[in-house]
Structure 1
Amino acid sequence: MGILIGGLIGYRLGGFIGMLLGAWLGHQVTQFISGDRRFTKQNRSAIQHSFFKALFVSMGKLAKLDGVVSRQEIDRAEIIMNKMKLTPELRQQAINYFNLGKQAHYKIERDLTDFRQKSRTSLSLKQFFLEMLIDMATVDGDIDNAEQHLIEQICQLIGYPLAMLHAMFKMRSSSYYQQHDNQNHRQDQTRPASLNDPYRVLGVAKTADKQTVRRAYKKLMSQHHPDKLVSKGLPPEMMKVAEEKAKNIQLAWEEIKDLRGW
Structure 2
Amino acid sequence: MAIIGKILGGVLGFAVGGPLGALLGAVAGHGLIDRSRSRAVESGSGAVEADAGVVFALGVIALSAKVAKADGTVTRDEIRTFQRIFPFDPEERDRIAELYNEARRSADGFEAYAEQVRGALAGKPELLAEVVDALYAIAAADGELHEAEERMIARIGAIFGLGEYEMASLRARHAPGSGSRSRAASDRGRGAADAYAVLGVEPGVSDEELRAAHRKLVRTYHPDRLVSKGLPEEFMELANDRLAAINAAYETVTKERRAH
* TM-score normalised per structure 2: 0.62
Compare CA radii of gyration and give the structure with the larger one.
1
Per the TM alignment, residue 203 of structure 1 is displaced from its structure 2 partner at its CA by 4.3
2:137 and 2:174 mapped to 1: Cα distance?
11
CA contact 1:80–1:241 (8 Å) conserved in 2: yes
Aligned partner of 1:48 among 50, 53, 62: 53
Q: Is the counterpart of residue 202 in structure 1 residue 199 in structure 2?
A: yes
1:236 and 1:44 mapped to 2: Cα distance?
20
Task: Report the structure, 1 or 2, having the larger helix content.
Answer: 1
Q: Is the counterpart of residue 112 in structure 1 residue 114 in structure 2?
A: yes
1:252 and 1:234 mapped to 2: Cα distance?
24
Distance 1:89 1:53, change over 3 A: farther
1:229 aligns to what? Answer: 226
Per the TM alignment, residue 104 of structure 1 is displaced from its structure 2 partner at its CA by 6.1
Aligned partner of 1:77 among 74, 77, 82: 82
1:164 and 1:203 mapped to 2: Cα distance?
5
Any runs of at least 4 consecutive aligned residues in structure 1 with deviations exceeding 6 A, and if so which? Answer: none
Q: Report the identity percentage.
A: 26
The correspondence of residues 1-262 of structure 1 with structure 2, limited to 5 A, is 46-82=51-87, 86-88=88-90, 92-103=94-105, 105=107, 107-141=109-143, 143-157=145-159, 159-161=160-162, 163-164=164-165, 167-168=168-169, 171=172, 192-197=185-190, 199=195, 201-204=198-201, 209-261=206-258
Map Cα deviations across residues 67-105 of structure 1 (whole Å, 9 max, x no partner): 1222332232122134xxx34466554433333333364
2:174 and 2:84 mapped to 1: Cα distance?
22
Per the TM alignment, residue 220 of structure 1 is displaced from its structure 2 partner at its CA by 1.8
2:56 and 2:142 mapped to 1: Cα distance?
24
2:220 and 2:64 mapped to 1: Cα distance?
22
Letter in 2 for 1:192: A
- Any stretches of 5+ residues in structure 1 without a counterpart? 1-42, 176-188
1:51 and 1:169 mapped to 2: Cα distance?
17
2:85 and 2:128 mapped to 1: Cα distance?
17
CA contact 1:152–1:162 (8 Å) conserved in 2: no
1:184 aligns to what? Answer: none
CA contact 2:173–2:245 (8 Å) conserved in 1: no
Moved more, 245-254 or 121-130: 245-254
Per the TM alignment, residue 154 of structure 1 is displaced from its structure 2 partner at its CA by 2.0
Letter in 1 for 2:132: L
Letter in 1 for 2:134: M
